[in-house]
A and B are shown apart, each in its own frame.
Chain A
């Protein structure tokens, strides 16, 4: 089977750092994606990891450990606009196009 787990909700303070974890057990692996989804809106792409290590993109970073089936999304210098759901998704097919999503983590940023 396949299982992608992430916390349901997290709360953090404006200006702080927050780490959102994602663990996966899938029959195949060809990359891990993070998407951001504001309430009532479409998911938008944040990051992609296919090799172990850290990918940094501005205030957002994503880490992958394939041997541990583990990833995290790190958000620095939190802003109120970062309040959203963060979706972890694993690609299992050779072309890297078929995604299996976790349930999403709803992040609330408080002043």
Chain B
């Protein structure tokens, strides 16, 4: 059981380049999330999805776009990367069942924008 899988694990971009981070979960979870984690600031929610075909903005959505074409996948896009987007990005998923709403996290993607 893989759980939540993120690709790639590491990436270095130049300012202005674009990229897509992929998150896949095999737990049939309805909810999926993208967070960024910066030193001393904890996890901040970028975007989230409550089901296939739906997305919503989180706390820090500017500069990012997302898509959820399939229930198991949640993509995070950076159209024009900036140095301020250097961070560790975590994807998570959780069940719609309130009794089982623990979020399960992927291993993270470490992104540097030069």
Instruction: Output the least CB separation between A84 and chain B (Å).
Output: 14
**Per-position binary interface string of chain A over residues 25-48, scored 1 when its CB falls under 8 Å from any chain B CB and 0 otherwise:** 000000001000000111111001
A45 in contact with B107 (CB, 8 Å): no
**Per-position binary interface string of chain B over residues 14-53, scored 1 when its CB falls under 8 Å from any chain A CB and 0 otherwise:** 0000000000000000010000000011111100101000
Partner of A103, one of B42, B94, B98, B102: B42
A13 beta carbon closer than 8 Å to chain B: no
Partner of B105, one of A42, A48, A95, A103: A42
Counted as pairs of residues, one from A and one from B, with CB atoms less than 8 Å apart, the total is 51
With known contacts A42-B106, A42-B107, A101–B42 Cβ distance under 8 A: yes
Nearest-CB residue, chain A, relative to B56: A98
When distances are taken between beta carbons in the complex, the residues of chain B under 8 Å from A97 are 31, 50, 94, 96, 101, 103
Partner of B48, one of A8, A48, A98, A102: A98
When distances are taken between beta carbons in the complex, the residues of chain B under 8 Å from A100 are 45, 59
When distances are taken between beta carbons in the complex, the residues of chain B under 8 Å from A75 are none
Roughly how many angstroms separate A33 CA and B92 CA in the complex, as a whole number? 15
Restricting to A54-77, which residues have a CB under 8 Å from any CB of B? none
Interface residues on B, range: 20 to 34
A87 in contact with B43 (CB, 8 Å): yes
With known contacts A101-B43, A101-B44, A42–B96 Cβ distance under 8 A: no
With known contacts A41-B107, A42-B106, A98–B42 Cβ distance under 8 A: no
When distances are taken between beta carbons in the complex, the residues of chain B under 8 Å from A40 are 108
B42 in contact with A44 (CB, 8 Å): no
Q: A: which residues have CB within 8 A of B?
A: 4, 8, 33, 40-45, 48, 87, 89, 91, 95-104
Q: Beyond A45-B103, A96-B101, A103-B40: 7 further Cβ-contacts under 8 Å?
A: A42-B4, A42-B106, A42-B108, A45-B104, A91-B101, A95-B98, A96-B98
